[in-house]
């Protein structure tokens, strides 16, 4: 009887090893683990096993929260440097914005976050009109980071925020800067509630930039060495790229190019004050 127990233990260990090997073993092109789902597993249990968030697991595999998974299905496991689900590619080089687009679980429902404030809710009613309570709440989120002063936000900008949110699956939109009372840029759209700087976790800024440039009558600023992109509403579309890092003078990608906004670093505001010559978007 004593000899049987070690044999049973050894067989049990072999079974565990087989399950482990069956559920994990492959590596994708970016060096991330591939997990093969077995019976009874859920997204929550898999996320807990690899010490990642369910949100990251869903994003990298383009799944909705609560999605049904089946035995034998293979899931990419985000690594420590990739916890938001974004492929590890600098500035999103080589990625199309369509590759990151997704249908939101609740169309028109946005999550807007600033360092100290947050809004979650619907912005438009069924007729496409802005809900006044939502407008007030968003103006609070986009208030001046210096003084907390608020300003009315252009209605078209509010509609574009909803459109951006819906395009990228309702992911949180992180606000870097909204309304500003003062600016070195004479015609800065930030001063009149027509601009904001933002990022979306899991979506490279280069990808956001490409999508924003597909919109009509907007200003788009791209800062490859900073943390955000710029979007404003205007009469004719414009685009600029500033390669400076936060705290540095502007370094425009093309000779003679300037921006008419000071979005490279809202806390230094070093953009030139005169109206800028920008690249037209065709």
- Average pLDDT of the residues of the chain: 78
Give 1-28 pLDDT, tens digit per residue. 455 566 555 555 555 444 444 444 577 6
Which residues on adjacent β-strands are paired with residue 190?
Answer: none
| pLDDT band per the 50, 70, 90 thresholds, residue 279 | very low
Looking at per-residue confidence, does 270 or 144 come out higher?
A: 144
Q: Can you tell me the distance from the alpha carbon of 280 to that of 240, in angstroms, rounded to the nearest whole number?
A: 9
Q: Do the bridges between strand 279-280 and strand 238-241 make them parallel or antiparallel, or are there none, so unpaired?
A: antiparallel
H or E stretch including 76? strand 74-77
Residue 243's pLDDT is 86
Which of 14, 21, 78 is closest to 46 using CA atoms? 78
Q: Per-residue pLDDT averaged across 27-41, rounded?
A: 83
Residue 259's pLDDT is 62
Looking at per-residue confidence, does 70 or 277 come out higher?
A: 70
Among residues of the chain, what percentage have pLDDT more than 90? 42
Residue 8's pLDDT is 55
* pLDDT of residue 270 exceeding 50: no
Give 225-268 pLDDT, tens digit per residue. 888 999 999 999 999 998 877 777 778 876 555 565 655 444 33
3-state secondary structure 26-66: EECCCCCEEEECCCCCCHHHHHHHHCCCHHHHHHHCCCCCC
* pLDDT of residue 157 exceeding 80: yes
Give 118-134 pLDDT, tens digit per residue. 999 999 999 999 999 99
Angle at 217 between CA 127 and CA 254, to 5 degrees: 150
Residue 81's pLDDT is 42
Please indicate, yes or no, whether the overall pTM of this predicted structure exceeds 0.75: no
| pLDDT band per the 50, 70, 90 thresholds, residue 274 | very low
Domains belonging to the chain, first-starting first, are 4-88 (3.10.350.10), 97-280 (no CATH)
Q: Can you tell me the distance from the alpha carbon of 143 to that of 160, in angstroms, rounded to the nearest whole number?
A: 18
DSSP structural state of residue 122: E
Sequence length of the chain is 282
Residue 82's pLDDT is 46
* pLDDT of residue 66 exceeding 50: yes
Q: Can you tell me the distance from the alpha carbon of 24 to that of 33, in angstroms, rounded to the nearest whole number?
A: 7
- Phi, psi for residue 22 in degrees, rounded to 5: -70, -35
Q: Is 252 in a helix, a strand, or coil?
A: strand
């Amino acid at each position: 009887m004593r000899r049987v127990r070690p044999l049973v233990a050894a067989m049990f260990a072999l079974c565990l090893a087989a399950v482990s090997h069956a559920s994990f073993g492959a590596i994708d092109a970016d060096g991330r683990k591939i997990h093969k789902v077995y019976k009874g597993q859920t997204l929550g249990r898999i996320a807990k096993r690899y010490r990642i968030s369910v949100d990251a697991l869903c994003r990298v595999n383009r799944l909705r929260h609560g999605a049904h998974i089946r035995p034998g299905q293979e899931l990419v496991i985000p690594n420590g440097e990739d916890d938001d689900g974004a492929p590890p590619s600098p500035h999103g080089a080589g990625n199309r914005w369509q590759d990151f687009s997704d249908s939101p679980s609740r169309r028109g429902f946005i999550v807007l976050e600033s360092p100290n404030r947050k809004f979650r809710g619907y912005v438009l009613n069924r007729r496409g009109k802005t809900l006044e309570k939502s407008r007030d709440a968003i103006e609070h989120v986009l208030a001046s980071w210096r003084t907390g002063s608020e300003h009315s936000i252009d209605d078209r900008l509010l509609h574009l925020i909803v459109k951006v949110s819906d395009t990228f699956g309702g992911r949180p939109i992180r606000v870097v800067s909204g309304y500003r009372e003062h600016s070195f840029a004479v015609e800065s759209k930030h001063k009149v509630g027509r601009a904001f700087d933002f990022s979306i976790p899991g979506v490279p800024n280069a990808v956001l930039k490409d999508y924003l440039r597909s919109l009509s009558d907007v200003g788009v600023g791209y800062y490859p060495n900073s943390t955000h992109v710029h979007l404003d509403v205007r009469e004719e579309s414009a685009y600029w790229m500033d390669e400076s890092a936060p705290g540095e003078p502007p370094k425009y990608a093309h000779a003679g190019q300037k921006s008419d906004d000071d979005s490279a670093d809202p806390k230094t505001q070093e953009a030139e004050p005169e109206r800028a010559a920008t690249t037209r978007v065709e």
